[in-house]
Amino acid sequence: MKKKIAIIGGGASGMVCALIASGSGCDVTLIEKNKKIGRKILATGNGRCNITNEDVSEKNYHGHHLSTVQYALKQFGKHEVRKFFADLGLDLIAIEDGRMFPMSLQSASVVVFLEDALRANGVTIMTEVTVRSVHKKSDKFFIQSEQKEFSFDKVVIATGSMAMPSLGSSEDGYSFAQHFGHRIYPRFPSLVQLVSDDSLLKKVSGVKIDASLRALVDKQIEQEIRGDLLFTDYGLSGLAILDISRSIAKGVLQHKQTEIMIDLLPDISLQALKKLLQKKNQKFSHKSPTLWLNGILHQKLIIMILAKTNLLNAQNLHTKQLHTLAYIIKNLSIPIVDTRGAKGAEVMAGGVDCSEVDCKTFMSKRQSGLYFTGEILDIDGDRGGYNLHFAWASGYLAGKHLLC
């Protein structure tokens, strides 16, 4: 008799796991709470689906036990991902610093090919089914939904995290894991916008610049990066903020002092900036710096900087004032009090303790026949296709072990 396998969660790791497990004739059922599978995939990469990255390696991941990532990448790296999708009929292209996308540049293409393969392999796809509990009696797992109870020989929990709740994400998977005695590391948002209580930010909302950023936690530099920064009425956004947000979000979780230090003019040194401001001040000594700073900084940023240095109504600045102005331009401190949370996060850090999961098979060490894949695990990646890559890899390896 065929083994009956249930995969809870029709996202990236769940679909790949179901597809691989069904390859040798297992009776596989994919259970999804949304109306359609792959809903979160459709939203990734601005609708283009950043499938993986040409430079994928362990250094792009975070978590307490990265041996799980090491093995997964060794067995299912970028070449294997490319071949996997090519075999489905989906070719990939590399653009934007090694980020790899479907050639169509449409996330929908990924879901279409995966769903077609699942149906061709005889996978039963159950949508709009919310799982309320998972438990085991004797050698059978029992899944209780809102409608009825199902029994299976093996269960894969591929529910993801609670990031993007508008797409159906929830904490259900963590509850299922805890029922079987698994430790859950505290979860916090990653790749997320940051919230500040600096009232001056409302004056610069909408301004987008290229800047160098430093993430400070309790006055210690945790990370430095350069890239796009967007000022908003609630705080800070932009690609650079997403990339630097993890260390800040972790600091917020731990109730530490967090701030972003911004260099508004990263292509000019502090000393050179001091000389430039001195020159401008001498030439336009009879005029307000709100005028002569135009051409150096965005007009809205000028008002913010002068307000922070108490120079809004000043003119003919003396040397100390000019040095203070230059310093603030190169070291603009924005206090961070929170993140935009799960609703704004692309992924969540934390999750099921990987030391309690076999890194080669993704089966629980606490409960035989129970598996975990994807973002529910205490593994999160940088922006650039790394989170999806781990989802594909973990789903693939779990699916291989499930082969009947």
Do 99 and 207 share a domain, yes or no? no
Q: Band of the pLDDT at 404, cuts 50, 70, 90?
A: low
Do 162 and 246 share a domain, yes or no? no
- Of 314, 339, 364, the position where a domain reaches its end is 339
Q: Say how many domains are in the chain.
A: 2
Do 109 and 170 share a domain, yes or no? yes
Per the CB < 8 A criterion, the answer to whether 149 and 365 are in contact is no
Do 219 and 326 share a domain, yes or no? yes
Do 67 and 134 share a domain, yes or no? yes
Tokens representing 146? 């809102």
Whose tokens are 């035989």? That residue is 368
- φ/ψ (deg, to 5) at 301: -70, -30
CATH number (domain holding residue 130): 3.50.50.60
Cα torsion 72, 78, 82, 85: sign: positive
- φ/ψ (deg, to 5) at 390: -65, -35
Q: 219 lies in which domain range?
A: 193-339
Do 325 and 370 share a domain, yes or no? no
Do 243 and 123 share a domain, yes or no? no
Do 387 and 297 share a domain, yes or no? no
- φ/ψ (deg, to 5) at 338: -170, 180
- Of 291, 311, 339, the position where a domain reaches its end is 339
Do 175 and 204 share a domain, yes or no? no
Do 172 and 28 share a domain, yes or no? yes
Taking only the tens place, the pLDDT of each residue in 380-397 is: 999 999 999 999 999 999
Taking only the tens place, the pLDDT of each residue in 18-40 is: 999 998 778 999 999 999 999 99
Taking only the tens place, the pLDDT of each residue in 51-65 is: 999 999 999 999 999
- Of 320, 339, 358, the position where a domain reaches its end is 339
Do 163 and 211 share a domain, yes or no? no
The model's pTM? 0.94
Look at residue 1 and tell me whether its pLDDT is greater than 80: no
Tokens representing 266? 């990263």
Look at residue 17 and tell me whether its pLDDT is greater than 70: yes
Report CA Rg, the chain: 25
The residue type at 218: D
Do 331 and 358 share a domain, yes or no? no
Q: Band of the pLDDT at 285, cuts 50, 70, 90?
A: confident
Residues 199, 182: Cα–Cα separation, whole Å: 43
Per the CB < 8 A criterion, the answer to whether 131 and 31 are in contact is yes
What is the rounded average pLDDT of the residues 246-266? Answer: 97
pLDDT of amino acid 131: 97
Residues 353, 332: Cα–Cα separation, whole Å: 38
Whole-number average pLDDT of the chain: 95
Per the CB < 8 A criterion, the answer to whether 322 and 282 are in contact is no
